[in-house]
Structure 1
């Protein structure tokens, strides 16, 4: 499966970080296609449902020339999250809905969005394996997973894709999950690889935000100021390379190992191009060492 190292996370295109006009969102997806992006990440939750519909509209008629990943796992009522549901019946109905909205006869990558404590992961993986055999999905994956859950899942079937948060300011996967995966086995897809905007250098403090980042203490004005100062190596390296900070942050992630992929979520074409420039940015050993140790 030609995943590409840098994909497009589509969550931001349907309101999670503020309104994006539909025509601008479609133009961004078209530009991503023009620049060779082949991996698009969405979910039934985003919108909800509207994100998958937007992606299908924008990709037509190239819908089948790219890799599309979507997710299930939340129980929704009137557009609101009312719980988790990863029962086999819900997985199938979610896939059927996603296929309709995406205008496809098969989903490339299907993730469980979040673990459902009421349903053993073994049952979830078993249900996804059934859908693979029936040709409804190509591969199954897990999001926000830990090594213990992953080990249980792998007793049922190999897990080809993991999607966890990983960035310069969230390095938890280095402590447990990445060592478990090995150097090139499961493909690790990093969501929020730019720290929800902090690593672009343009993040606004919490008082200026009206989206779900208001629940993130990192965006409190004092915390954000301290974090920006501690990230001075990122800003300095970006300046030295005449590169956007976002590109440097993504290039650092891509340097970690060959099975790491990133899905930044730009809202504008300029942001998209900044992100994609990471593919051509060569960081020196000194650059990487400074970034590795940015917190010290």
Structure 2
């Protein structure tokens, strides 16, 4: 495994992290035994950067991680997030208030079974709470020793500047992949100016950029992708054409599409640390090996040139979800 510096924190984390959400919900049925084996293998492979959130499985994912953290806490650079809350009908809303985030942090520490969270993210930016207030309260957690570094997720360039002026922001987590490149225009340049690491989530297009998903009818009935515009039948049929074109490029590089997709991100800058999610060891090994795929500047240009000939069909979230991103 290779390692990269997490922004102004100066901490070294694995160049490929591990997104843990799917272990608890969203992508079909759980397999707790395989998830635990995947977590343990990740550390053996040198993947020390784990990403979770308090909303994943309503706290279940943090509890899943605690079983491995109990004996291997020192081996993990642990990131979690706060802010999404569930209503009685299972719908969610975002709460970035100081009062709530302090309660959320205490609950996460208890579920994770740890004294300190290495990287604590605001899962979104609350439009009803000034970002300065949210980050000011997060900074108090740092002073109390409950959190080491602060991060934001899906924040705009303006919000990032305001937040970093209150307390140093170590990382920005946003969706970023060959399919989603919104941050390249304004957000990534601000992160680079302020020495904030860029953490792409869903770097494999929610599984689409692995080539393993060509027919959405195979998705489990509980899989949340069934409700995403990009995975609707007509849109996805168009998107499969992009997947197949990229698979040919990957074959030419003697790697898988997943590895090509991750290698492209890694080649976009040393400050980029993707966190592909998986709950299976075989995909973890595949993702980890992406660090061995070397793409030249010419390779990157060719891949982006190919993508310029296509248009990805469908938004990445529902209308309500899109209102919460990049704000």
Band the TM-score falls in, shorter-chain normalisation: over 0.9
Match status 1:83 vs 2:83: no
Which residue of structure 2 aligns with residue 159 of structure 1? 169
Structure 1 unpaired stretches of 5+: none
Partner of 2:158: 148
Which deviates the most, 119-128 or 181-190? 181-190
Q: How does 1:192-231 map to 2 (within 5 A)?
A: 192-209=202-219, 210=221, 211-231=223-243
**Runs of 4 or more off by more than 6 Å in structure 1?**
none
Gaps of 5+ in 2: 1-10, 310-327
2:27 and 2:304 mapped to 1: Cα distance?
29
Q: In structure 2, the residue corresponding to 1:150 is in which secondary structure?
A: helix
Structure 2 residue aligned with 1:283, among 295, 318, 322? Answer: 295
Q: What displacement does 1:28 show? A: 0.8
Q: How many angstroms does 1:232 deviate by?
A: 4.2
Aligned-residue RMSD, C-alpha: 1.7
Confirm or deny that 1:241 pairs with 2:253: yes
Q: Tell me whether 1:295 sits opposite 2:271 in the alignment.
A: no
Q: Does 1:17 align with 2:27?
A: yes
Q: Deviations over 1:158-186 (max 9, x none)?
A: 21110000000001111111122227810
- Counterpart of 2:14 in 1: which secondary structure? coil
Residue from 95, 100, 105 that aligns with 1:95: 105
CA distance in 2, matches of 1:224, 1:82: 26
Q: Which residue is equivalent to 1:266?
A: 278
Question: CA deviation digits over 1:225-244, x for unaligned, max 9?
Answer: 32232344421221123211
SS in 2 for 1:80: coil
Does the 8 Å CA contact 2:203/2:276 hold for their aligned counterparts?
yes
> Counterpart in 2 of 1:139?
149
Q: What TM-score do you get using the length of structure 1 for normalisation?
A: 0.95
Aligned 8 A contact 2:116 2:146 in 1: yes
